[in-house]
Amino acid sequence: MGMEPRSGPGGGRGPGGNRGPGGDRRGGGERRGGGDRDRNARGGRGGGEAGGEELIEKLVHINRVSKTVKGGKRFGFAALVVVGDGKGRVGFGHGKAREVPEAIAKGTAAAKKAMIRVPLRDGRTLHHDGYGHFGAGKAYVRSATQGTGIIAGGPMRAVFEALGVADVVTKSVGTNNPYNMIRATFVALGEQASPKSVAQRRGKKIADLMARRGDHAARTAEVDAEAAVA
């Protein structure tokens, strides 16, 4: 009879009872696992939507950045990415994260949302010369004859490769900052206009506009006009 009261308080302390709630907490861990599965499912759907289009991705620059917080510094990475379809559409984006792959993924997503369309002559070069300015960066772009290739360096080359330009001559002046160079290049590309759009805006025929160019005769202008319409 003396042993029964001691066993009773042992049950009162309830190590087994404490373990019982612990079992419930382990069940909560399973619920957290289910949340991970839900997040993976959402990520899979997003990847399927982005993978439906063939795009050219160019990593232009990676920079290590730091943020001063209470207790020290928090380091991360910043990525500058250029994305294009090789057929006249291009965009650039900037992403920051604690790890390089995540920063690149953020930059790529931002670039896809900011893509612009640039009219191309014969699908290989620009229609006319252009100039862009952003901050201290100045970008000059010129159309080129077939076989010239992409004469550009650094970030500007990545833009034209993603855009699908085969012949172009460029020059950057004022800065080596890749962010300002990219933005100045996009300012120059944003001013590009095709003969068809100019003719519609001015109420003229494409052949009349092309014939006024010093490097085209009237007959050549008609052929170029037909190609531009097509």
pLDDT in tens, 30-77: 444 444 444 333 333 333 344 456 899 999 999 999 989 998 999 999
pLDDT of residue 213: 59
Please tell me whether residue 184 adopts helix, strand or coil conformation.
helix
pLDDT tens figures, 17-34: 455 444 454 444 444 444
Domain extents in the chain: 56-190, 195-229
Average pLDDT over residues 152-171: 92
Please state the φ and ψ torsions of residue 175, each to the nearest 5 degrees: -160, 155
Residue indicated by tokens 């612009």: 116
CA–CA separation, 198 vs 210, rounded Å?
11
Q: What percent of the chain has pLDDT over 70?
A: 68
Average pLDDT over residues 127-134: 92
Say how many C-beta atoms besides its own lie within 10 A of residue 140's C-beta. 17
The structure tokens listed for 121 are 């002559």
pLDDT of residue 203: 81
CA–CA separation, 218 vs 209, rounded Å?
10
CA–CA separation, 77 vs 103, rounded Å?
6
* Backbone dihedral region for residue 61 (phi beyond 0: left; psi -120 to 50: alpha; all else: beta): beta
Q: Is the pLDDT of residue 7 over 70?
A: no
Query: DSSP letters along 40-76, please?
Result: HHHHHHHHHHHTTS--EEEEEEEEEEEEEETTEEEEE
Residue 127's closest CA among 138, 119, 135?
119
Name the residue type at position 153: G
CATH 3.30.160.20, applies to 56-190: yes
CA–CA separation, 221 vs 230, rounded Å?
14
Beta strands 168-173; 150-151: pairing state: parallel
pTM for the full predicted model? 0.66
pLDDT tens figures, 170-210: 999 999 999 999 999 999 999 998 888 888 888 877 777 77
Say how many C-beta atoms besides its own lie within 10 A of residue 151's C-beta. 15
